[in-house]
């Protein structure tokens, strides 16, 4: 774990040192040109820094685990199965925040063993906040043990994601968020699902949902939240599956129950 954490911290420096003087309309990702290109769907970007962080992580982690497989957000060649040891990596979760210098993005690294998440690291380099957990052990934020409190919705903040890349999900997301607003102190939409889920683990939010996320957005954070005593499922209360996109609900157990009473 210490070695993995060290690698992720080093990768954080690539994000902190990024030169954001870019031309938004460029599409070529060479070193001296352009830094942004659009992926499929709306509001779905990749920068040269996403690629740089991803390949730094792949290379360094391969030195620790030469036989491991890798699934990275910016990598098209995903392995056909997750048997054995497999890392699911989002080099920059919160890429839109990164592009617009919002300083709310994270590196997310999940280690899977035979399809189960056994270690998770989510690192926000801007605040130097490192969330991590090992399966069956405690979850931490830096040195501090994380323990989810049974905060009711009415005494807490909730957060959601708008799935901006899938326009059809936007109306549904805002409808749910509008209902949720009646039950909480206020709502946040911060733009990094990995951090949002870790914020539930840290009791900064009691509740988070997003109607479509990819495994690299939630794999590491899901273990961190579970080891802190929180709940994370699909929107229809199913156990998480790490091989496809899915909806996500992450909450403390009390807020989770309350949500399904009015939704
Ligand atoms: P990203 O920044 O790594 O792309 C914002 O609503 C959240 O959704 C972020 O965690 C973001 O991750 C994620 N996201 C962005 N595009 C997505 C897509 N096409 N499918 C699923 N999740 C996506
Ligand atoms: Ca990303």
Across 35-39, 69-73, 175-179, the highest mean pLDDT is recorded for: 175-179
pLDDT band of residue 164 (cuts 50, 70, 90) is confident
DSSP assignments along 53-118, one per residue: HHHHHHHHHHHH-TT-EEEETT-S---S---SEEEEEEEEE-HHHHHTT----EEEEEEEETTEEE
What DSSP element (H or E) covers 45?
A: strand 45-47
Q: Which atom of ligand 1 is nearest to the CA of 96?
A: 2
Q: What is the pLDDT of residue 34?
A: 42
Q: Which residues have C-beta atoms less than 6 Å from ligand 1?
A: 41, 44, 73, 90, 93-95, 161-162, 164-165, 191-193, 210, 212-214, 217, 245
Which tens digit of pLDDT belongs to each residue from 14-54?
999 998 776 555 555 554 444 566 666 655 667 889 999 99
Q: Which fold has domain 153-262?
A: D-Maltodextrin-Binding Protein; domain 2 (3.40.190)
Per-residue pLDDT of 217-226, as tens digits, reads 999 999 999 9
Topology given in CATH for the domain delimited by 2-146: Fructose-1,6-Bisphosphatase; Chain A, domain 1 (3.30.540)
Is the pLDDT at 61 greater than 90, yes or no?
Answer: yes
Distance between CA atoms of residues 263 and 256, nearest Å:
11
Q: pLDDT averaged over the chain?
A: 92
Give, using CA atoms, the residue closest to atom 2 of ligand 1.
94
- Return the sign of the alpha-carbon dihedral for residues 192, 198, 204, 207: positive
CA distance 194 to 79: 22
Of the listed ranges 13-27, 51-65, 104-118, 227-241, the one predicted with least confidence: 13-27
Find all residues with CB under 8 Å of 142, minimum gap 6, and list them.
128, 129, 130
Indicate the pairing of strand 144-146 with strand 85-93. unpaired
Is 178's pLDDT higher than 90? yes
Structure tokens at 243: 């091989």
Nearest Cα neighbor of 101 from 191, 28, 175, 197 is 191
The confidence score (pLDDT) of residue 100 equals 86
Q: Is a pLDDT exceeding 90 seen at residue 77?
A: no
- Cα angle, residue 35 at apex, residues 32 and 39 outer, rounded to 5°: 140
Domain ranges within the chain, ordered by starting residue: 2-146, 153-262
* Residue 121 Cα to ligand 1 middle (Å): 18
């Amino acid at each position: 774990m210490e070695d993995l954490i060290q690698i992720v911290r080093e990768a954080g420096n690539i994000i902190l040192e990024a030169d954001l003087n870019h031309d938004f309309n460029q599409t070529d990702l060479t070193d001296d040109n352009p830094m942004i290109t659009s992926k499929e769907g709306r509001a779905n970007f990749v920068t040269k820094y996403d690629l740089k962080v991803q390949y730094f992580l792949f290379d360094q982690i391969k030195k620790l685990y030469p036989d491991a497989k890798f699934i990275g957000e910016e990598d098209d060649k995903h392995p056909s199965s997750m048997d054995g040891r497999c890392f699911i990596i989002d080099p920059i979760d919160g890429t839109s925040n990164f592009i617009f210098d919002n300083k709310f993005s994270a590196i997310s690294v999940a280690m899977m063993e035979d399809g189960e998440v056994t270690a998770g690291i989510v690192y926000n380099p801007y605040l130097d906040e490192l969330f991590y957990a090992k399966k069956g052990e405690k979850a931490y934020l830096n040195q501090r043990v994380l323990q989810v409190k049974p905060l009711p919705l009415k005494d807490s903040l909730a957060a959601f994601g708008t799935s901006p890349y899938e326009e059809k999900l936007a109306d549904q997301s805002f409808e749910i968020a509008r209902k949720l607003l009646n039950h909480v102190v206020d709502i946040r939409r911060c733009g990094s699902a990995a951090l949002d889920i870790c914020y539930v683990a840290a009791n900064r939010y009691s509740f988070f949902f997003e109607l479509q996320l990819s495994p690299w957005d939630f794999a590491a954070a899901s273990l961190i939240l579970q080891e802190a005593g929180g709940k994370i499922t699909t929107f229809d209360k199913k156990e998480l599956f790490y091989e496809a996109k899915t909806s996500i609900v992450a909450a403390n157990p009390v807020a989770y129950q309350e949500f399904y009473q009015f939704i």
